[in-house]
Structure 1
Amino acid sequence: MTASSPLRILGIDPGLRVTGFGVIEKVGHRLAYVASGCIKTDAEAALPKRLGTIHAGVQELIAQYRPDQAVVEIVFVNVNPQSTLLLGQARGAAITALVAGNIDVAEYTALQIKQAVVGNGHADKTQVQHMVRRLLALPGTPSPDAADALAGAIAHAHGGQGLGALSTKGYRIRNGRLQ
């Protein structure tokens, strides 16, 4: 990529029921919205079928938008270990589709993404939606899942590999947050 050629970034906010996605382009220091939405799975379907839906959906996104890089939010253990395991599997389905599509994948915590986009790692979903709307000059507010995916792409565009390399040495992770 040269300084003037666009860099297309696909953000993924993994979820077993709803996986948000957002695509932006970065040219120099400017960001432009390309697309966003959600991959929805059938809640009544068996787990393997739902994971297949996520994988196939991400493959379709790669074919349609041809991203240069991708960002996937890192999942932390929460109160319910079973939910964490299921979410991790959804995340894995998305990552395997990206890797199979030969897309470089960056990973950031929710705290890193919120800090980069909102300026507060503990921001709530409405604050993330508001900042994504402002930063990309969107005419409307994106859904929470799409906004989280777009926020990941924005954080990557602004911080690149430097953000992903934030040191966590000396910190511990508790309830999904660095302390």
Structure 2
Amino acid sequence: MRILGIDPGLRRTGFGVVDVQGMHLQYITSGTIVIPADQPLAQRLKVILDNLREIVRDTEPTVSALEKVFVNANPMSTLLLGQARGAALCAMADSQLLVHEYTALQIKKAVVGNGHAAKEQVQKMVQHLLKLDGLPAADSADALACAICHAHAGPLAQRLKLSGELAGQRGNRLRGGRLIG
């Protein structure tokens, strides 16, 4: 499985790609899409959309993971972040990629073991888990952490879904000529 992790932002959108084979993670690439602040909002969103499309074409991920928006004290900031996230979702949908969404708390807990970890802790743990020579930039580290979170949570979610489907199949039995659940 090749996972594209995305940390959306209207000024800086981080991305990171990892391969997963069993419990082994392998770093592929990461970076930050820097969006010029002097452009109109529509153009800034197009920069995110176009760059993520190109990243998908270049890296050929099989799935994507995206950080969910949290509501902060400033509603306008939340709204703008949501629009950047929407551009990222559109890029994934346009590329036919399934998107898995995780909160910052889930991501930090999966990577660091503490849902309230500092950015520096996330960066250091991403460096350690992916055996990187240097500390990744904050936006790239957040995107890689999102991909790592899915690498850990995705297989479990898949097994639980399959288990639920099997349980549902076992629960439907014929009694007296009619199907009961």
Which band: TM-score by shorter chain? 0.7 to 0.9
Identify the residue that residue 56 of structure 2 maps to in structure 1.
Answer: 62
Superposition map of 1:7-156 within 5 A: 7-156=1-150
Query: Aligned to 1:123, what secondary structure does the other structure show?
Result: coil
Q: Give the Cα separation in 2 of the matches to 1:65 and 1:140.
A: 22
Following superposition, the deviation at residue 9 of structure 1 comes to 0.2
Identity across matched positions, percent: 56
Higher helix share: 2
Q: Which structure 2 segments of 5+ residues have no match?
A: 159-181
Q: How well do the aligned residues superpose, as a CA RMSD in angstroms?
A: 1.2
> How many matched pairs?
158
Which structure 1 residue ranges, 4+ long, deviate > 6 Å from structure 2? none
Find the structure with the greater CA-based Rg.
2
Q: Deviations over 1:11-30 (max 9, x none)?
A: 00000000000000001210
Following superposition, the deviation at residue 61 of structure 1 comes to 0.6
Q: Give the partner amino acid of 2:101.
A: E
Q: Deviations over 1:83-120 (max 9, x none)?
A: 00000000000011001100010000000000000000
Q: Give the Cα separation in 2 of the matches to 1:159 and 1:93.
A: 24
Q: Give the partner amino acid of 1:133.
A: Q
Give TM-score scaled by structure 1 length.
0.86
Query: Aligned to 1:140, what secondary structure does the other structure show?
Result: coil
Q: Give the Cα separation in 2 of the matches to 1:76 and 1:161.
A: 25
Give TM-score scaled by structure 2 length.
0.85
Q: Give the Cα separation in 1 of the matches to 2:138 and 2:35.
A: 17
Q: Give the Cα separation in 2 of the matches to 1:93 and 1:8.
A: 21
Residue pair 1:156, 1:163 contacting (<8 A) in 2 also: no
Query: Aligned to 1:75, what secondary structure does the other structure show?
Result: coil
Q: Give the Cα separation in 2 of the matches to 1:161 and 1:44.
A: 42
Q: 1:162 to 1:88 in 2, by over 3 A?
A: farther
Residue pair 1:12, 1:72 contacting (<8 A) in 2 also: yes
Q: Which structure 1 segments of 5+ residues have no match?
A: 1-6, 165-179
Q: 1:161 to 1:83 in 2, by over 3 A?
A: farther
Q: Give the Cα separation in 2 of the matches to 1:161 and 1:32.
A: 17
Query: Aligned to 2:105, what secondary structure does the other structure show?
Result: helix
Following superposition, the deviation at residue 161 of structure 1 comes to 6.0
Identify the residue that residue 169 of structure 2 maps to in structure 1.
Answer: none
